[in-house]
Structure formats: C-alpha cells, structure tokens
Structure 1
C-alpha cells in the first residue's frame, strides 16, 4: 500500500470519527439558543412591566377625577393631597416621570366646553414621603376644550384629569431606550354639588 493511500485512509477514518462525534453538540446549540432566550426573557419582563405601569397610569387618572369630584369645594391644600394620594397608586414604580392635571369644565347652552379652573402639580419623593407643589396648568380659565360628544350635556360641569408618564425600561436595548410615553384621562361628574368650587363662592360659567 502506497504512502498516499495510507494517508487518504487515515484521513477518511478521521473524518468519519469527526462526523459521528456529538460531544460538543449541546454546547454549540446552547451558544446559539442562549442569546435568543435572553432577548425573549428580557422583552417579556419589560413588556409585562410596561403593561403594569400603563394600568397604573389609568388608575391615577381615575383616582384624580374621582377624589376631586367628591368634594364641593377644594383649596390648594386639598388639591395637593389629591395629587399625592393619586400618585401613590403608581407604587412601586417611580413617580418622578408623572405629569398630571385636574380641570373643571362647564358645557354652556351652545354645547361648548369651557375651562373653569385647572391645576397641575410637580412631585418629589423621599422614601415613602410624597411632596407635591401646585403649578399653573397649560389650560387657562375660559379656554375652549374638546370633549366627546356624548358628554356635551348643556349647563353641566365635569372634572377632567389628564395623566402622562414616561416609562423608562430597565433594559434599554430591548425596548426603546428613550422610554415610552403613556397617558390616559378620565371624566367624572361632581358628586355632591353642581360644580366643584375653587377660588370662588359660586359655580362659574366662563
């Protein structure tokens, strides 16, 4: 048998042994699958957290309008407490990215909705303590506001709460690194009186 034949035969046996060898197959499959599994896992976690925060934003909006509509008169101190209580709904998620606004609306004889008063608040959290500071909102008294046609009942008042939240995912490369804007609003009729008075002694109709 020639040297060349021996070399080819030996090479053939080596290739057959290599093809039958499965000792590193699991490690190779693991190396391919792990990145996909990790991406899927973190994406699922972030999606679940995002859905939870979105639900809490809705609850904050409903809480703001509901608490305000239960009063007959509100002061700055009352509104601070309302904002603080509503922001507490976001726990355990941070409240710093939240922006909220409470507005009372009057629908006049022509079915046009007008802003009667409106307030926003900034918030700071130190441990479990939430501190709110009232600020002027972007809506001014007398501004016309668009509301759903089904709510345009003439000579009636409504409390509108608007909440926005910038959700920032923990794993930025799975979800948008800049964050996701979440928002919701809620309309509530005054419960105890025709309107909720703020800085006035009679129901305004601007």
Structure 2
C-alpha cells in the first residue's frame, strides 16, 4: 500500500501545482484578448482619422468659398458686379493642400496626383424672382429660380461629374439633404446671389483597405458675395478651368 500511496502522492504534487498555477492562465487570456485589443485600437485610430478628414473637407469648402466671395467690383463704381478669373480659381484650389495636408500622403499612398484624389467645384448662383407677388418669409424656394452663372467644368472629377451644370435651374432641397450638384438648400433661396463650393473626397482606410470600401465625404459651402451684388467669371486667359453659362 505504501508504494501506491507514494505514487499517488508524487503524482498529485504536479497536478496541484498545475491547477494552482496562474501564469499559464494569464498567458492564455492575454493571447485570446490581444487580437481583440489590436482590432479595437486600429479601428479607433481609423475612426479618428476619418473624423479629422471629414472636418478638413468641410474646412476646404468653407475656406475656398470665403476666398472667392471677397472679390470686389471695380474701384470706379461702374458696376456692382465683381469678377474672378482662372488664376484666382487655381490659387484657391491649391490652398486645399495647406488646409488638408493629409491629402498629399493619401494621394501618394494610392499613387495619385493630389488633385486627382479630391473633387473641388465652384459655381456662382443668381436667384431670379419668378412671381412678383410671391412672398413666403419661411420658404422662398417657390418664389425664386436658381440659375448657374458660371461653373468649374475644368477641375478634376475623380468621382464622377460633381460640377453644377449650366442651363439647368437648381432645385430646392431640404436643408438637411446631402449635397447635390443639381440642388440647393431651401434656406438659401431669396433676393441674392451665392458662391457655392462643392468638395468630395473618398476616405480610404490606411489599414484593411482591401477589405473595407472607401467612404464618400461630401461637403458644400454657400456664401453670399461680401462686396458685390454678383461674382461673375472673367474668361480672359481662361484655360478651361471654368465655363461661363449662357445669358451671363
């Protein structure tokens, strides 16, 4: 009996040590949890980058609209209409590199030129009242027709045509509707003119891009001219970046 007891006692010692050991359990738990933690960390990083990109796209639209809206009429007061030319549009377009520096790295990563990684479009809008007796302070979209004065048909269109077309009145849309090249928010309709900047950027995750599709970020800015009744386009030395619409 003694040899059997001694054998069982000798066998029981490593079993008790195994059952009481915590190092192995901790290692197993860490091996199971580590992939989940890495996924959460990488996902959180991508979400932060996306949020920042979304903010920057909106900032590009607002900043460029402010640049163009500050065009001034002639100093001799011969007209209240101001003009911008191709050089002005190229200058403000290139400002996107400074406002949104992530664009440069993202374009390089995808083997693209930076202007081929973002769509920036310009348009000047004139509102014409269709009915003299129409007057709805809450919603004037039924009283006015929104016509495109000029549009940037010559800027890069990497995600399909996003410029606002000539000879097609812009339709009123809900203020919360997504930006559209053929519509304007109802709240901007009225006795005025607008500069509209439409920016589209496809956010491609830096990790897992083969498994996750790009996310479209579209932002638009609507600004009234600061010093002029209308901002038109000067076609002198035009290189094709913009087109002046018929009638203007």
TM tier, shorter chain? Answer: 0.7 to 0.9
Aligned to 1:195: 230
Q: What are the equivalent positions in structure 2 for 1:70-89 lying under 5 Å apart?
A: 70-71=70-71, 72-89=82-99
Gaps of 5+ in 1: 124-135
1:91 and 2:101 correspond? yes
Q: Give the whole-Å Cα distance in 1 for the aligned partners of 2:57 and 2:233.
A: 25
In structure 1, the residue matched to 2:41 is 41
SS in 2 for 1:93: helix
Evaluate the alpha carbon distance shift between residue 97 and residue 142 of structure 1 in structure 2; reply closer, same or farther with a 3 A threshold.
Answer: same
Counterparts of 2:102 and 2:184, CA distance in 1: 32
Distance in 1 between residues matched to 2:22 and 2:125, nearest whole Å = 73
The CA RMSD over aligned residues, in Å, is 2.8
TM-score, normalising length: structure 2: 0.67
What is the match of residue 197 of structure 2? Answer: 161
| Distance of 2:63 and 2:124 partners within structure 1 | 15
1:30 aligned partner: 30
Residue 153 (structure 1) shift: 0.8
Q: Aligned equivalents of 1:87 and 1:67: distance in 2?
A: 15
Structure 1 length-normalised TM: 0.80
- The residue that corresponds to 1:126 in the other structure is none
Alpha-carbon distance in structure 2 between the residues aligned to 1:117 and 1:158: 11
